[in-house]
Amino acid sequence: MESGGNSLPSGPDGVKRKVSYFYDPEVGNYYYGQGHPMKPHRIRMTHALLAHYGLLQHMQVLKPTAAKDRDLCKFHADDYVAFLRGITPETQQDQLRQLKRFNVGEDCPVFDGLYSFCQTYAGGSVGGALKLNHGVCDIAINWAGGLHHAKKCEASGFCYVNDIVLAILELLKIHERVLYVDIDIHHGDGVEEAFYTTDRVMTVSFHKFGDYFPGTGDIRDTGYGKGKYYSLNVPLDDGIDDESYQSLFKPIMGKVMEIFRPGAVVLQCGADSLSGDRLGCFNLSIKGHAECVRYMRSFNVPLLLLGGGGYTIRNVARCWCYETSVALGIELDDKMPQHEYYEYFGPDYTLHVAPSNMENKNSRHLLDEIRAKLLDNLSRLQHAPSVPFQERPPDSELQERDENQDDRDERWDPDSDMEVDDDSKPRRRVKSERVEAEHKDAVSAGDSMAVDEPCIKEEQDNLKELSDHSSRRPSLLSSVVRALQPLFRSGGAGPDVISKSIERYIDVSEVVPTASQITIWVIMTTELVSSSLSHLISSQHYHLSSHFLSALLPSSVVQHCWRLYNRSATSLQVVWWWCNVDGGQCDIIGGVLPRRSILYREVLFCAPLVDDT
């Protein structure tokens, strides 16, 4: 195998690319649980296609080194990483409070090997960043990465560790500016949030916006402080096709590259924006999706390609195989070669699939407005920021190892989206490929991050605030009561009930929300819990539908709260309390609620928390 993986000339620039590809054969064994749409097995299917199309011989193929605790803690909180390391399916019933605190449960279940899974996919992304930093390759690929919803202190949207943030932090050790581009159908909220206050990272997300997870990504969300106008959000509607998508992507990204002039680009290639995705509602073809990769490749800037969403797994494998060929500059035959998973791709057995005839709800007028608004925002940036480096920060201690690949599936999901061999475990399917060990890049004895990101410092300050419980309680209670006053209805909960519910939450969770967090309080009384709502709260108390909220409260209040939620909600805890008043007795039932779940898409009702200290 040729070191560095020189590819063929391609694209209008005609420049060869060196590609490093990260793959761990064990990644396909991890299993979120029966019925869960996230299936890591799709990574193995992608690898099988790459092998049988002959693409592996054109790349440097590396097995990533598992990220260590200290690597993950460069972004994530120590206690959260410790929780992920220790939790197992057998012990989770003994840690219910921690499960709620870290938002691990429904969307983000505990499964066998969870922490190893996180270490593997994070190690691939950070390893790719290291390769780019040292000029070993022009493009690095980790299809197991791209889990963009994970936050500093919690899991979210099938994501536990934010490998993208970790990779960007690594790139910032060498590059003054890093660009993050997200073409997943869901907003890249975790990455945007991590770098919302810095001008060294620009985040650009093209996503479905509206009553859709995670509910963030309004075009008006542009960054804060030094990061003002360094967050770009492109909100889209159902059914967008290739032509409409590219009418936004190319002019916006062309202007971004001209003005921001990044030293490296990270492109999250979530495949749930493809037509026919199990959870998606866009209408992109595989070629249309890959055109984004082709376009970003044409700028000749170090490029890290990552995976992400994608829940019709046969199309995910098709997409990432084709996008690997685009990175290499190799054209592939549409007729698929015989391989271990061939039966998954019937009846056509082709690499490409036609988009559907679904309605495109993105009008030309809407697209023109979005493009004009974002180009105007970009025009407000007069020049690319620069950061003087006095000393190069140390590398993360990651080195790829040489191991024999073993492709046996130890855990297999019979609830596949395929109707092929659903009741049997797959055979040893992917032919054996040599995996090279990486020569160790310069490694420092220290673990400290030399990049002092303003956003990371702000998060640390927030955590420090959380430790002072008693001094914050009076301010917290009065602030929440005042914020909720406009939402009271006659006969509804009064300040005493609200105060009791907040006090109980503080006592149980040992956490006091701060003014820097947006805390959402939903107060329900028996007046609101009518028989017509009983089916909604019987098994999941907190899942409410928007039309019930609209019927119970003035539309102006609901709309106001929606604006606050969409513009302000962060990864931090969302709290609700259902106050059931019966015969003078107040039975308070409550819990920590993750922001809207991908699976349930519940609508939250919110009010701002105002600090009066």
pLDDT in tens, 425-469: 333 333 334 444 444 443 333 333 333 344 444 434 443 443 343
Average pLDDT on 376-400 reads 70
Distance CA 93, CA 448 (A): 35
DSSP 8-state secondary structure symbol assigned to residue 571 = S
Least confident piece of the model among 74-88, 168-182, 360-374, 413-427: 413-427
User: Of all residues in the chain, what percent carry a pLDDT higher than 70?
Assistant: 60
Q: Which domains does the chain have, with CATH numbers?
A: 19-444 (3.40.800.20), 467-593 (no CATH)
The dihedral region occupied by 301, where left means phi > 0, alpha psi between -120 and 50, and beta the remainder, is beta
149 has catalytic annotation: yes
Q: What is the pLDDT of residue 443?
A: 37
The pLDDT tens digits of the residues spanning 30-41 come to 999 999 999 999
- Is the link from the previous residue into 12 a cis peptide, with omega within 30 of 0? no
Q: What is the pLDDT of residue 392?
A: 60
Give, in order, the Cα–Cα distances in Å from 181 to each of 82, 95, 256, 266, 397. Answer: 30, 36, 10, 6, 26
Band (269; pLDDT cuts 50, 70, 90): very high
* pLDDT surpasses 60 at 499: no
The 3-state DSSP class for residue 156 equals strand
Average pLDDT on 303-321 reads 98
Q: What is the pLDDT of residue 311?
A: 96
Residues in the chain: 613
Q: What is the pLDDT of residue 393?
A: 64
Band (63; pLDDT cuts 50, 70, 90): very high
Q: What is the pLDDT of residue 335?
A: 97
Which residue carries 């920021």 as its tokens? 385
The H or E element spanning position 473 is helix 473-484
Q: What is the pLDDT of residue 396?
A: 73
Q: What is the pLDDT of residue 543?
A: 32
464: closest CA among 73, 77, 82, 102? 77
Distance CA 87, CA 71 (A): 19
The pLDDT tens digits of the residues spanning 106-152 come to 899 999 999 999 999 999 999 999 999 999 999 999 999 999 999 99
Least confident piece of the model among 178-182, 210-214, 358-362: 210-214
The pLDDT tens digits of the residues spanning 143-199 come to 999 999 999 999 999 999 999 999 999 999 999 999 999 999 999 999 999 999 999
- Ranges of H-type helices in 142-280: 163-171, 189-194, 242-260
Band (387; pLDDT cuts 50, 70, 90): low
Selecting among 52, 148, 149, 187, the annotated active-site residue is: 149
The pLDDT tens digits of the residues spanning 547-599 come to 333 333 334 443 444 444 443 333 223 333 333 323 333 233 333 333 333 33
Average pLDDT, the chain: 74
Q: Read off the amino acid at residue 317.
A: A
Band (87; pLDDT cuts 50, 70, 90): very high
266: closest CA among 152, 98, 145? 145
What are the structure tokens assigned to 477, written together? 């209670």
Give, in order, the Cα–Cα distances in Å from 574 to each of 154, 248, 493. Answer: 12, 34, 19
* pLDDT surpasses 70 at 328: yes
Q: Specify whether the CB–CB gap between 273 and 189 falls below 8 A.
A: no
Q: Specify whether the CB–CB gap between 341 and 273 falls below 8 A.
A: no
* pLDDT surpasses 90 at 517: no
pTM: 0.67
Distance CA 69, CA 57 (A): 33
Instruction: Answer with the residue of higher pLDDT: 410 or 22.
Output: 22
Q: What is the pLDDT of residue 170?
A: 97
Q: What is the pLDDT of residue 382?
A: 72
Band (395; pLDDT cuts 50, 70, 90): confident
